[in-house]
Structure 1
């Protein structure tokens, strides 16, 4: 049977666009990778289309690449039967969920591209499944669906540009992506490259008997990675500028990296296990960010994999066995790209990437955090007014581009939404809820990074006073560590904004009915008062309207709440003090 290959040239023809008026908005995709076969059902229903909400997921541990290695690049009949039965099972599950036949898609990658008898597998699938059409991805399309749009599906944007990589069992892809420009996704796929060195392939190199052959083949891998990266640099002016500056002595000229695929996620799990925030407070590699220094400590990661006998979260027995190969590929990447900045791991895959490419540009480029916050048009001016008050509390003399807050993370909508939530519960209960909910809410939601969740947790819990029980105190400590990894003062600013939100909610006990109500009720000014031999001081002045809502408020308690943020820090000592003043407006 002739293979049905999806290329960049025929992509629009092969990939049917999303129909928002279709009766069912459930889409099922099988990703027949070299290291396993994954299946998922996703909802593209409005208004949460951009979130790619997961409905069902499963995995069959069939390593096609292992089979090919053991059978001289041939799929034996037993494997073909196993694959067909797996596809039939996935198809039946999709029927149970009500997925239409024309919204069921099957994708295949490196193993199917390279097998000598791939046609036998395709014929068996076609004849015995009666309707499952297997699509083989051209390497450029695999880069598009995986490294580019698979990772992109979990992000708000990447306007400054970054390297994107995907590691599966049979191949590794790399490209550069910078969002914002029309057609950036296709351009990223075109300039990217794919090398047939996945985790399974490299493991075979490492386990062969001849040391000479191992050294020679690993040298070939090193050479190809460096060659292909150099070609990529020469095609991308922004990347070349970063590389040239680094080689000219600017050690701050680093490139950020986003990684997806099971192999790289395994490395991310090992990094989380060795993170200086221990125990690490968020149980997912998806959206975890590691600094370049930790990422490049490959030898330490190898040692831990060899010596640590317990379970490492996120790593299966097979992934632990393949870790030497994963570490080898990572080291090869580091050899080619020494100026690595932050590395963020993504749960995205070919499945999410294919769905993203079905969506119209205006949907896939929309901000997923806005979708999560569900700010309705009639509420927008109110949200803006409350956000404006919180921003007024941040003194202009501080460079918040290097000090993350809920604003720099784009989370103001989610935070403002929660200020007036759960008002009927006591403060300590709400403190615990805000802390834990930020970690557990909306699993795998696009745009919600580990840093973002930690910022929401610290800011949200401070809104309710920030008094924790023993168990939550440990979680707070861990989340503070995540935020402190970016800036020592960030946890203090999170607590400060939470305290300001507490004041706003005291003055406006119910969600405001209009932006004008917000502006009339409260005003805030702030500035930095410099001190030569002591800590600088944040001076904040708050004016609140005198009415029935505010007459019974103890303003001194609110002042103590704000000033106490810098006094009772549970993390590192802040670099500043806070002086607050709250007065009734005449």
Structure 2
């Protein structure tokens, strides 16, 4: 239900995140229907480094935040207040959060007082442990369910904790988080100081001693955080901890990895940092990443400042990998930070547990979305008795629900554009800005929707489709193809998305089957379409459905298996029967 403008005002939030490398101004809408995805109405980054401003450019000595920096910050605040007024944000719904660089400034009190005097806004100073906790909540906002180690790498500091988020309930270390003075900017400066005025041997010795100190601090933090036994056991069995990473320093590292995958690798298809994942070998490949950062002319979303910090981030990644018992299994990059953490903290568990894909697609849902969803599920057989044959859990219920809810969105487009628009909808189209969706789920939903429009693409889009497929297993790809074709059938049976459940046009059922195909030696899936038996049916429903049966059965042909005739797939047999279903 759409809220009236005066009602909506109560759900608007202005948040200012005063970080070390920039100040982020934003306005978000926490209206109940979409609060889970933290919709952003306005966002702007003021490019000022409060960390660098505290060092004399000539001597490198620590100095107070200069008055000209304070004046420029105040001017940015005043402009933001105008924007908040234009958007209808109540004055008491604007929060200003300051972190490491402001907290440790020589003239921190004077700086904060100047802002409050000029704007009337009181700045909330986060303590080290609270900064890490809010950052961890920001990370949790970017995923449905997660468990692993969470790290935030800002300009002046780095925080680490463990995080378990399940069904909207979030558990963190009882210690909160542990903070280190190893921010990307701070570490860059520290490494330069260790080398300055020293011979190569002396510099190497100083770096080795500092590395030893960092390793000891990380290992102590690991013990102090009191990780749950199940988290440690899972890391031991699966080859390391999943890392969930936020903060500008890690995002720069993530964008560098994206660049490598897109330019030097497999043409990675999605350029959204939230939900991007890298395995251990990629994440820890510091020498290659440093070389690319040094030699590449331009890297998407990696500024010159971030590029200069790459060696320091590489140093931290290398030390971290050596310090953690059981190592690192994979790294997941997050857009969430202080801003998202502050907003996510406001939400009740009942809102937090909602799935982002379901939330963002709800406004497109057809009138009979629940009934259509049940029909779709009916085309997926239950697990076999032995469990050997089953639908992949990775194509979860959230993806399938979202698929049904956007099943008709592109239906009014021409044949030339519907498949293409559907294919891009999760990465650059109507769902691209949704906060909290993994890249693999974006790929699954995009492929489902593209197949729903027959999977026909102009030649220039075929490579993009195959690059999305590269994010999934062959089994997942086959099922997206099959369910995409089922979507065609549902769209033709119910073109208005309306189902009279008292008088259904069709009842679907499915089961695993043996002895399919011409030689009766194939295992596969049998889909049954049951329609109401009618004497001399003037609509010729059975004949109409039988005309479309081939579309689904083609998915089971060996030549259409994923990877060719020796790839992944199964035979599909569809039958249409007339019986009493009312």
- SS of 1:283's equivalent in the other structure is coil
What is the distance in 2 between the residues matched to 1:566 and 1:475?
A: 24
Alignment of 1:343 onto 2:331: yes
Q: Identify the residue that residue 563 of structure 2 maps to in structure 1.
A: 572
- SS of 2:48's equivalent in the other structure is coil
User: Aligned to 2:343, which of 334, 347, 355?
Assistant: 355
Distance 1:227 1:464, change over 3 A: same
Q: Identify the residue that residue 562 of structure 1 maps to in structure 2.
A: 553
Q: How does 1:400-549 map to 2 (within 5 A)?
A: 400-401=391-392, 404-405=394-395, 407=396, 410-440=398-428, 441-483=430-472, 487-515=473-501, 517=503, 521-527=506-512, 529=514, 537-545=523-531, 548=539
Q: Identify the residue that residue 152 of structure 2 maps to in structure 1.
A: 166
Q: Are the counterparts in 1 of residues 561 and 568 from structure 2 also a CA contact under 8 Å?
A: no
- SS of 1:34's equivalent in the other structure is coil
What is the distance in 1 between the residues matched to 2:280 and 2:391?
A: 22
- SS of 1:482's equivalent in the other structure is coil
Alignment of 1:196 onto 2:181: yes
Q: CA deviation at 1:270?
A: 1.4
Q: Are the counterparts in 1 of residues 274 and 335 from structure 2 also a CA contact under 8 Å?
A: yes
Q: CA deviation at 1:424?
A: 4.0
Q: Identify the residue that residue 101 of structure 1 maps to in structure 2.
A: 91
Post-superposition CA distance 1:34-84 (Å, at most 9, x none):
111111111112321222110111111111111223351422222222222
What is the distance in 1 between the residues matched to 2:478 and 2:107?
A: 61
What is the distance in 1 between the residues matched to 2:390 and 2:499?
A: 33
What is the distance in 2 between the residues matched to 1:449 and 1:285?
A: 10
Q: How does 1:216-295 map to 2 (within 5 A)?
A: 216-232=209-225, 234-243=226-235, 246=236, 250=237, 252-275=238-261, 278-295=266-283
Q: Are the counterparts in 1 of residues 448 and 483 from structure 2 also a CA contact under 8 Å?
A: yes
Distance 1:417 1:257, change over 3 A: same
Distance 1:182 1:447, change over 3 A: closer
**Superposition TM-score, scaled by structure 2 size:** 0.86
User: Aligned to 1:138, which of 100, 123, 127?
Assistant: 127
Q: Are the counterparts in 1 of residues 132 and 176 from structure 2 also a CA contact under 8 Å?
A: no
Q: Identify the residue that residue 85 of structure 1 maps to in structure 2.
A: 75
Alignment of 1:333 onto 2:320: yes
Q: Are the counterparts in 1 of residues 139 and 341 from structure 2 also a CA contact under 8 Å?
A: yes
Alignment of 1:364 onto 2:356: no
**Structure 1 gap segments, 5+ residues each:** 1-19
What is the distance in 1 between the residues matched to 2:510 and 2:411?
A: 27
Equivalent pairs counted in the alignment come to: 546
Distance 1:58 1:215, change over 3 A: same
Q: Identify the residue that residue 583 of structure 1 maps to in structure 2.
A: 576
Distance 1:530 1:35, change over 3 A: farther
Q: Identify the residue that residue 109 of structure 2 maps to in structure 1.
A: 119
Post-superposition CA distance 1:340-395 (Å, at most 9, x none):
23322111110111111123332233333332232789846414422422333887
Q: Identify the residue that residue 11 of structure 1 maps to in structure 2.
A: none
Instruction: Please report the RMSD computed on the Cα atoms of aligned residues, expressed in angstroms.
Output: 3.0
What is the distance in 2 between the residues matched to 1:537 and 1:430?
A: 34
Post-superposition CA distance 1:387-441 (Å, at most 9, x none):
422333887643545x632x36x21121112334444445453222211223222
What is the distance in 2 between the residues matched to 1:27 and 1:348?
A: 16
Q: CA deviation at 1:181?
A: 8.3
What is the distance in 2 between the residues matched to 1:26 and 1:179?
A: 25
What is the distance in 1 between the residues matched to 2:244 and 2:268?
A: 20
Alignment of 1:36 onto 2:22: yes
Q: Identify the residue that residue 47 of structure 2 maps to in structure 1.
A: 61
What is the distance in 2 between the residues matched to 1:426 and 1:353?
A: 42
What is the distance in 1 between the residues matched to 2:366 and 2:406?
A: 18
Q: CA deviation at 1:580?
A: 1.8
Q: Which has the larger displacement, 349-358 or 540-549?
A: 540-549
Post-superposition CA distance 1:504-533 (Å, at most 9, x none):
333334323244555x613222316499xx
Q: Which has the larger displacement, 42-51 or 416-425?
A: 416-425
What is the distance in 1 between the residues matched to 2:55 and 2:540?
A: 74
Q: Identify the residue that residue 12 of structure 1 maps to in structure 2.
A: none
What is the distance in 1 between the residues matched to 2:169 and 2:143?
A: 17
Q: Which has the larger displacement, 419-428 or 107-116?
A: 419-428
- SS of 2:249's equivalent in the other structure is helix
**Structure 2 gap segments, 5+ residues each:** 1-5
What is the distance in 2 between the residues matched to 1:450 and 1:379?
A: 28
- SS of 2:339's equivalent in the other structure is helix
Q: CA deviation at 1:138?
A: 1.0
Post-superposition CA distance 1:142-190 (Å, at most 9, x none):
11211x11111122222xx2221111101111111112489735x4473
